[in-house]
Amino acid sequence: MDRAVRRERALEILAAAAVTALLTYPLSAHPATLTRADTADGQYSIWNVAWVAHALVASPAHLLDANIFYPHRRTLLYSEANFVAGVLAAPAYWATRSPYLAHSSVVLVAFFLGALGTYWLVRYLGGNRTGAAVAAICFAFCPHLFAHTTHIQLLMTPGIPFTMLAFHRMADRPVRRRAVALGAALMFAVYSCAYYGMFAVLMVGYAVLATAALRRLWTSGGYWAAVATAAAVALALVLPLFAPYALRQYSGGFNRSVREAQRYAADWRSYLASGALAHAWILPYVRPFGDVAFPGFVAAVLGVGRLVTARTLDRSSRDVVALYGGMAVLAGWALLVPSGALYTAIYTIVPGFSLMRAPVRFALVVAFALAVLAGFAVDAIVGRARKAGLVAAALIAVTLAEHYIVFGYPGAPIPQASAAYGVLARQPAGPVIELPFFERPRFFPRHAKYMLMSTAHWMPLVNGYSDYVPPDFQPNAIALAPFPFPRAFDTAGALGVRYAIVHLNMYDGTTRAEVEDRLQQFAPYLRPLYADADTRLYEIVGSPRP
């Protein structure tokens, strides 16, 4: 790589970083003090990323044995594992031990890499710098992502553009090295996000067939040998992650039917819904809507426009537009009609797709395909303009303005943890219960706050919240809810619980008084370790006998 290329790469990286800082403000300016811990899913995401970052160094052999739903093991696999997010978070986590900064660092890196990957993809496909920049902004900062900032896995988009870049490189020169790179890219996508990994697999599968048809490669031995190599590498790398989830599904977890998917489909309202400030005026006209699927005006207008006018392009560009236009149409069909033939066929034929339940996630594929098409539309506009520099600057400015989220990126100050957690962190290791122990399924998400607070001590936690809930969790929760109480002591003893944290301020007035009375009644079996007006920490040192 010569000096000019290195200089251009450096400028591209700096530009992607600058755009990320702008469009994620104020998070980019305050990554250590702003968070999305205002919802259960946000609390879960922060805990998840911190656990992986922590365990990778502290206890890699027990990475899957997350500290929830004790005494169950491999509990990290009860939901999205977020391995890539945890790896990316590890430097910030171990430098500061802050789960919030660790999580914020991953969010920023994900947006940055999503933009950079899309830019490089469009440039490789023949787009100019302006078109690549517009495409990068349209995809990496699309409204669908800003509607899901509490779900770290749904922000992990880089695997999609990097996988498609690897595919095009392999298709252009089907050698073993590029085939292996495509297999590795697919692994990166799958380990980043199960949904996006599945989408990447489907996109590559579609691209393999579409490219073979467009370039007449049906009889090319080299092409199909490279495809087979990429598939074998991807399968070998992904199987260690896929197998445990498949076994969990077989044993009764993650059973998602096509009928259930209907609840998470998009409709025409979703296609006009957006959380971006530039689109806020649309929302009163489209309520109620289930989710955000609007790709943005720039992506939609330019992308569709490029698709409609594709006949004016040269053969190479026309093939790219046909490929990504077809991708947008198929993804749009799948997310709108999960009960239709396409979605049902994918559900039936593709291994692992039945683990998914939200067809509206295909909105990201639509946004991606339209972003690539928009990049080629910009290419044509700038190429025909008399004042190309001025037009290019205007197009980038308009795209930035539409996606500008200043004061709109959701965030709140990090929650203040009770000093009880710091005291617990200094105690000998032992299982913990936190109370109130919410026993009704509709209140299970409230356990996520306890999980987030456990990042201060990493003790095994009987509490838990995840996509899959073990069958014995609710019976145990019902028994533990009235703690301290004889039956609750019995269940705690059977589980080996050593510590109990009681949040008195989380009970209503009547129940709090009853709990305080029981704490006095069973005081001989509870050794106080910490107490303030709202929180008590005890070591369980005995159990009342009948």
Q: What's the helix, strand, coil split of the chain in %, to 5?
A: 65, 5, 30
Q: Are residues 368 and 467 in the same domain?
A: no
Average pLDDT, integer, range 311-335? 89
Q: Answer whether residue 408 shows pLDDT above 60.
A: no
Q: Are residues 181 and 282 in the same domain?
A: yes
Q: Are residues 128 and 216 in the same domain?
A: yes
The answer to whether residue 237 is domain-embedded is yes
pTM above 0.85, yes or no: yes
Instruction: Give me the pLDDT at residue 209, please.
Output: 97
Q: Are residues 383 and 471 in the same domain?
A: no
Structure-token pair, residue 304: 């569709």
Q: Are residues 320 and 460 in the same domain?
A: no
Average pLDDT, integer, range 98-112? 97
Helix ranges, 175-220 (H)? 176-192, 194-215
Closest to 86 (Cα-Cα) out of 100, 98, 103: 103
CA angle 112-192-71, nearest 5°?
130
The answer to whether residue 31 is domain-embedded is yes
Please name the residues in contact with 335: beta carbons below 8 A apart, sequence gap of 6 or more: 265, 266, 293, 359, 360, 361, 362, 363, 366
Q: Are residues 391 and 518 in the same domain?
A: no
Greatest distance between any 2 Cα atoms in the chain: 91
Q: Are residues 472 and 365 in the same domain?
A: no
Q: Are residues 52 and 154 in the same domain?
A: yes
Q: Answer whether residue 355 shows pLDDT above 90.
A: no
Q: What is the pLDDT of residues 493-533, one digit of tens each?
A: 999 999 999 999 999 999 999 999 999 999 999 999 999 99
Instruction: Give me the pLDDT at residue 406, please.
Output: 47
Do 35 and 152 meet the contact criterion of CB atoms below 8 Å apart? no
Please name the residues in contact with 172: beta carbons below 8 A apart, sequence gap of 6 or more: none
The answer to whether residue 341 is domain-embedded is yes
Residue at which a domain ends, from 402, 433, 449: 402
Burial tier of 271 (Cβ tally within 10 Å: 0-12, 13-18, 19+): buried
Q: Are residues 428 and 396 in the same domain?
A: no
Q: What is the pLDDT of residues 53-65, one digit of tens each?
A: 999 999 999 999 9
Q: How confident is residue 462, by pLDDT bands cut at 50, 70 and 90?
A: very high
The answer to whether residue 253 is domain-embedded is no
Instruction: Give me the pLDDT at residue 118, please.
Output: 98
Q: Are residues 346 and 434 in the same domain?
A: no
Find the domain containing 175 and state its range.
Answer: 19-248+273-402
Residue at which a domain ends, from 341, 373, 402: 402
Structure-token pair, residue 294: 């609007």
Residue at which a domain ends, from 373, 402, 431: 402
**Number of structural domains in the chain:** 2
The answer to whether residue 9 is domain-embedded is no
Do 127 and 119 meet the contact criterion of CB atoms below 8 Å apart? no
Q: Are residues 429 and 528 in the same domain?
A: yes
Q: Are residues 93 and 223 in the same domain?
A: yes
The answer to whether residue 545 is domain-embedded is no
Structure-token pair, residue 521: 């009644």
| Cα–Cα dist 313/261, whole Å | 39
> Which helix (H) or strand (E) segment is 414 a member of?
none
Q: What is the pLDDT of residues 186-199, one digit of tens each?
A: 999 999 999 999 99
Beta strands in 309-429 (DSSP E): 412-413
Number of other residues whose CB lies within 10 A of the CB of residue 309: 12
The answer to whether residue 262 is domain-embedded is no
